[in-house]
Amino acid sequence: MREEKYISIEKGLELYVETYGELGNETCLFISGAGANSSFWSDHLCEILVENGFFVIKYDHRDFGYSSKIDWDKNPYDFMQLANDALTILDSLNIEKAHVIGHSMGGFIVQLLGIHYPNRINSLTSISSSTNSPDVPVPPEKTWEIYLANKPQNNLETDLYGFLKVWEYLNGSAKFEKELAIEYTKNLYKRQDIDGALGSTHVKSMHSLTDRTEELKKVKIPALVMHGEEDYAVDKYGGVQTAESIENSELILIPQMGHIPFNQELLNRFENEIIRFLIMNKSEAVNNA
């Protein structure tokens, strides 16, 4: 059911890709956020979708996880290149269209795909993301304090405490289940060295982003917009405005959830909403409606 492979994006750059299910079935492409690898999307989520007739893809972004590392000073990239990475994966597997699901930075990429390549997208799901509008409130000062206090030195044992402080803050007010956070952090260290800010080059590439509010108003693709009520990394108004901008969208705000759920009950809700929306927008379901 699950296969691992590397897909060449350009000379010297390969992306680590995991697939689930049967190629030829309707495709779901999951896109992680800055500083997150493909394990952000659980095996359980992927397997349930396969059981419902989908082919599932998730991958590590360039310069992260198992994918090729880059020298930012020599080879900087922008967000359209990250969006094109996703399309190149689809092209390499001869997939014409896909449902695209993105969290945080992945949500930015999903929105760009919907804006610039609507003919390749069946539906889009934007989670814990925003339109990049200046109207969206910036994160509170405490967010930056928490981020900057974490100074990993590529030693999981000594770095773990700092990461747990970050994850607990990003979890929201729901009960913080430390075991989930520890497993998540172990996986980050398993795939790469971490001796500085997570996803720093991803953050650098965000300078290429502009306000997408008006462009999203032209998007007619079915969309799910999901956000935690207590997201202190991307304000929930980012999700509200995204949903207001996309004509055919559904907005779900989850109480007590922050930017990343490290709570099994919230994680179940998070995944079940994605599964429900994708099944509802599966081609056969739409055609039979």
- Alpha-helical segments (H) within the chain: 43-51, 79-92, 105-116, 141-149, 156-171, 178-191, 200-205, 213-216, 236-245, 264-280, 283-288
Tell me whether strands 13-20 and 54-59 are parallel, antiparallel or unpaired: antiparallel
CB atoms within 10 A of CB 54: 23
237 pLDDT higher than 70: yes
126 HSE (CA, 13 A, CB side): 34
Over residues 72-95, the mean pLDDT reads: 95
- pLDDT for the residue numbered 184: 97
State the Cα angle at 175 between 151 and 180, rounded to 5°: 55
243 pLDDT higher than 80: yes
Question: Maximum Cα–Cα distance for the chain, whole Å?
Answer: 55
- pLDDT digits 0-9 by tens, 167-198: 999 999 999 999 999 999 999 999 999 988 88
- pLDDT for the residue numbered 162: 96
Is the sign of the CA dihedral 111, 41, 233, 71 positive or negative? negative
- pLDDT digits 0-9 by tens, 21-54: 999 999 999 999 999 999 999 999 999 999 999 9
**b/e sequence 1-22, b meaning 16+ C-beta within 10 Å:** eeeeeebebeeebbbbbbbbbe
Rounded distance between C-alpha atoms, residue 126 and residue 110, angstroms: 7
Q: Which amino acid is at 9?
A: I
60 pLDDT higher than 80: yes
pLDDT classification of 288: cutoffs 50, 70, 90: very low
Over residues 116-122, the mean pLDDT reads: 97
pLDDT classification of 285: cutoffs 50, 70, 90: low
Q: What is the CA radius of gyration of the chain?
A: 18
CATH number of 2-288: 3.40.50.1820
Rounded distance between C-alpha atoms, residue 102 and residue 41, angstroms: 10
- pLDDT digits 0-9 by tens, 158-174: 999 999 999 999 999 99
- pLDDT for the residue numbered 202: 87
CA nearest to 219, candidates 246, 238, 242, 251: 246
286 pLDDT higher than 80: no
Rounded distance between C-alpha atoms, residue 29 and residue 286, angstroms: 19
State how far the alpha carbon of 157 is from the alpha carbons of 58, 122, 162, 185, 287, in Å: 28, 43, 10, 11, 52
The pTM score is 0.96
pLDDT classification of 206: cutoffs 50, 70, 90: confident
Supply 58's token pair: 């998730």
- pLDDT for the residue numbered 1: 82
Supply 28's token pair: 């779901």
% of residues, the chain, pLDDT over 90 = 89
